[in-house]
Every structure is written in structure tokens, then in C-alpha cells.
Amino acid sequence: MTIDQKVRKTLDELGIADAPGVEAAFAEVRAAMQAERAALIARGAASESEREKLCKDLRDRWLARKNGLLSAVDEKWLKAARKELKPSVGKSFNNLRQESAALEIAALARDVPLRKQAEANGGIPAGGSPPMAAQMYRETPSDLTLPGNRRALGTLHPVTQMQREIEEIFLNLGFHIESGPEIESVYYNFDALNIPESHPSRDDWDTLYIDSKTVLRTHTSPVQIRAMEKYGAPLHIIIPGKCYRRDNPDASHSPMFHQIEGLAIASDITFADLKGTLDFFAKRLFGQKIRTRFQPSFFPFTEPSGEVSISCIFCGGEGCRVCKESGWIEVMGCGMVHPQVLRNGGVDPEKFSGWAFGLGVDRFAMLKYDINDIQLFFQSDVRFLEQF
Ligand SMILES: [Zn+2]
């Protein structure tokens, strides 16, 4: 039965007796209406006058007061509906009437292309209201050989870029990348690294505790112990990863930040190897003119311990705002691995020695890109991120 025949029978005659049946019948009418509209748009018109005629014909077929398909629906389906079906028929008919506005001549003419224009546009008519346009694209045969829509790709986050650059240098030196859990036990995060109960870094004010035995790791150093347990010695690894501390966010602090830690264990390894490696690293990263400076410091897990500064990359060592007129910027902590830490990792300190260093990736990225606020990295502002 064609749609023309259907709308000229009552619902009773069509055997429709419930609301789902009504809905299905109206869906069929709506589909026919949309298909005819789409077919006209796909066909196009050869001239303005032909377009006007085609649009008027389609409009009249559906919307003419006398003999239009919608009038038939009104007459046969709505007015003749049984009482209990009236509400659902009325609702569906209202919806249909609203959608039929797309069949008014002006709405049709806007979307039906003149054939010359259609060819110039690659067969896709310009304009059209968004919902109808979407409908139209679905039903117009597409040219599958047309190139796809290119999506703009983002870039790697500046911290990720920095991390990869640092990793690359150490990978070329023969180091491997190792990772470990961010939710860490107090043992690996503190005890195994020779950090005693009394140490201030274990305080509630510095560390995010999950429970008394579990923390969000405050540094990447626990992976040193895990790697020693797993691989033994000799060992050359770098450990990039996220760390957490109870710092209030400000221009230089963030409760979440990124570290890279390095660990080298071998027989007869000395502080000279450490200095040579870190000097090479600094020159690779910031340029051959960079000088490094080692100063004594203290960390519980290294002995002796040092802090590494590089000559200021902004002023070349003459003194400026960034280096606070000193000519040097402190960038890393380092030292010879404490014998007890080697023992805790199952490595015999009589046979092996090792060195380790740790640096803040965010801080390196801030230096490299001259960024003065660490918060910018984590605010996901596209205007900031798209600069990298
Ligand atoms: Zn400077």
C-alpha cells in the first residue's frame, strides 16, 4: 500500500488499535515526507523557474488544504480516531505538522540547488537549516572518492616533550627506562631509602598518606629499590614519573609534579662518573657552553650528596633576574648511593657502588621555555599549550 493510499484509510481500516501502532504509522508518513524532500534536493533544478515549480508541486502534494496528504491524515486518522487513541494521534499529528514546515516553498527552494551550482559545489547544495542539512547529507549519495575532513592534531604537552628529550639523552648513554607505582608503600618510599621515622619529609604536612602504610610517592626514588630487587647489579636506569607532595599550588609548587631519577650501579663506579655524566647531560640539553657546578649537600639515601647547578642559560653566567644575579641555577640533587640503600635493594656494597640523581621535569621545562608559573602546565589552557 502506498503512503497515498494509507493516509486515505482510517486507523480502524488499517487495523491500528494502540499507541505504538499509531507511532509507527506516523513514523512511516514522516519518513516518506523526508525521502521525497531529499529526492528533490538530490535531483536539483535546471533553472529558477523549474525549481519554483518543483518546490510548489511537492509543497502542494503534502500541504494543500484540499487533497494534501496532511489534510488526509487530519481527516482520516485524527478526526476519525477512536476516543482512546485521540491523545496519541493528536500528539503525533502535531509533531508531523511542525516538521512539515520544511516543505514550505521557501524552505525547499533554499535547499534545492540549481544544477550548475550543484556541480560547482561538488554535488552538495549550499545552505540549508542544520537539521535538514544533516538529513540531506545522509540521504544524498556521497562521492566516496572525496578526501576526508582533516582534523587538527594537537601537540605533545611541554612537560612530555621535556621528559622525552631527557629520556633520549640517557637512552643514548645506554640507560633503560624503568617505572613503578605512584601509590607506594611507606617502606619503599621512605624506610628502604634510609629516610628515618624522624625525618621531616615523612610528616603529614609534606606527604599525602592513603593510610599509615601507604602514600602517594613523594619522589621516584622508590623505583631504585624495586629495580635493584628486580634486576640486581650492574644497573643503569632512569625513572620518569609523577610524584605528589602536600604543597599548596603557587608559581613554583604543585601537589603533583614530574621527576626523572637516574641510577647507575657497577663495580668501581665513582663520583667522577657522576660528574662526567651529568655535565654531558647538561651540555646536550642546554648547549655546549653550559658549565656545571657541584656543591655538597645532604640526602639520606646518598653519601656523599651534592647539588648540581648549571651556568645560567639566560645570561650566560653574568647575572640576571632568573639566576638572582648569581650566574648559576640549581637544577638537580645527586650523590653516591648510600651503602645501606644498596643493601636494602639486595646489592652488596662491597662489590658494587652506584650514583643517583633526581631532577624536576616541570622545572626543566620552565627553564627551557622561560615559563614563570608551573600552574600553567596543569590548567589545560589551549592558548598556552598550542605554543609548543
Ligand atoms: Zn642569569
CA 220 to ligand 1 center in whole angstroms = 29
CATH code where residue 239 lies: 3.30.930.10
Q: Are 110 and 223 in the same domain?
A: no
Class of residue 196 by CB neighbours under 10 A (exposed 0-12, middle 13-18, buried 19+): exposed
SS3 label, residue 127: coil
CA 109 to ligand 1 center in whole angstroms = 69
Interval 334-347 mean pLDDT: 97
Residue 222 belongs to a domain: yes
Q: Are 100 and 8 in the same domain?
A: yes
Residue 149 belongs to a domain: no
CA 279 to ligand 1 center in whole angstroms = 19
Q: Are 57 and 199 in the same domain?
A: no
Strand partners, 238: 177, 262
Q: Is the peptide bond before 234 cis (omega within 30 degrees of 0)?
A: yes
* pLDDT, tens only, 7-57: 999 999 999 999 999 999 999 999 999 999 999 998 888 888 899 999 999
Residue 144 belongs to a domain: no
Secondary structure E strands in 128-234:
176-177, 183-185, 209-211, 214-216
Q: Name the DSSP class of 114.
A: B
CA 23 to ligand 1 center in whole angstroms = 76
Gyration radius (Cα) of the chain, Å: 37
CA 264 to ligand 1 center in whole angstroms = 31
CA 278 to ligand 1 center in whole angstroms = 20
Residue 153 belongs to a domain: no
C-alpha 313: how far from its chain's center? 32
CA 244 to ligand 1 center in whole angstroms = 29
Q: Label residue 115 by pLDDT band (50, 70, 90).
A: confident
CA 351 to ligand 1 center in whole angstroms = 43
CA 311 to ligand 1 center in whole angstroms = 8
Q: What are the backbone dihedrals phi and psi of residue 354, each rounded to the nearest 5 degrees, phi first? A: -155, 160
- For the cut 60, the answer to whether the pLDDT of residue 137 exceeds it is no
Q: Are 299 and 243 in the same domain?
A: yes
CA 331 to ligand 1 center in whole angstroms = 13
Q: Label residue 134 by pLDDT band (50, 70, 90).
A: low
Predicted pLDDT of residue 120: 53
Q: Are 206 and 295 in the same domain?
A: yes
- For the cut 50, the answer to whether the pLDDT of residue 95 exceeds it is yes
Predicted pLDDT of residue 132: 53
Q: Are 211 and 325 in the same domain?
A: yes
Sign of CA dihedral 360, 366, 372, 375: negative
Residue 171 belongs to a domain: yes
Q: Are 240 and 285 in the same domain?
A: yes
* pLDDT, tens only, 246-304: 999 998 899 999 999 999 999 989 999 999 999 999 999 999 999 999 999 999 999 99
Of 120-129, 139-148, 210-219, where does the model show the most confidence? Answer: 210-219
Q: Are 327 and 247 in the same domain?
A: yes
Of 99-108, 132-141, 153-162, 225-234, where does the model show the most confidence? Answer: 225-234
CA 294 to ligand 1 center in whole angstroms = 18
User: Of 139, 172, 190, at which residue does a domain stop?
Assistant: 139
Predicted pLDDT of residue 121: 53
Mean pLDDT of the chain: 90
Q: Are 125 and 180 in the same domain?
A: no
CA 316 to ligand 1 center in whole angstroms = 6
pTM over 0.85: no
CA 152 to ligand 1 center in whole angstroms = 38
Q: What are the backbone dihedrals phi and psi of residue 331, each rounded to the nearest 5 degrees, phi first? A: -125, -15
CA 261 to ligand 1 center in whole angstroms = 26
Q: Are 272 and 326 in the same domain?
A: yes
- For the cut 80, the answer to whether the pLDDT of residue 233 exceeds it is yes
Q: Are 127 and 170 in the same domain?
A: no
CA 329 to ligand 1 center in whole angstroms = 8
CA 313 to ligand 1 center in whole angstroms = 7
Residue 148 belongs to a domain: no
SS3 label, residue 158: helix
Residue 145 belongs to a domain: no
**Residues above pLDDT 90, as percent of the chain:** 70
* pLDDT, tens only, 202-224: 888 889 999 999 999 999 999 99
Neighbours of 372 (CB within 10 A): 10
Domain that holds residue 215: 158-385
Q: Are 218 and 269 in the same domain?
A: yes
Residue 150 belongs to a domain: no
If one counts the domains in the chain, the total is: 2
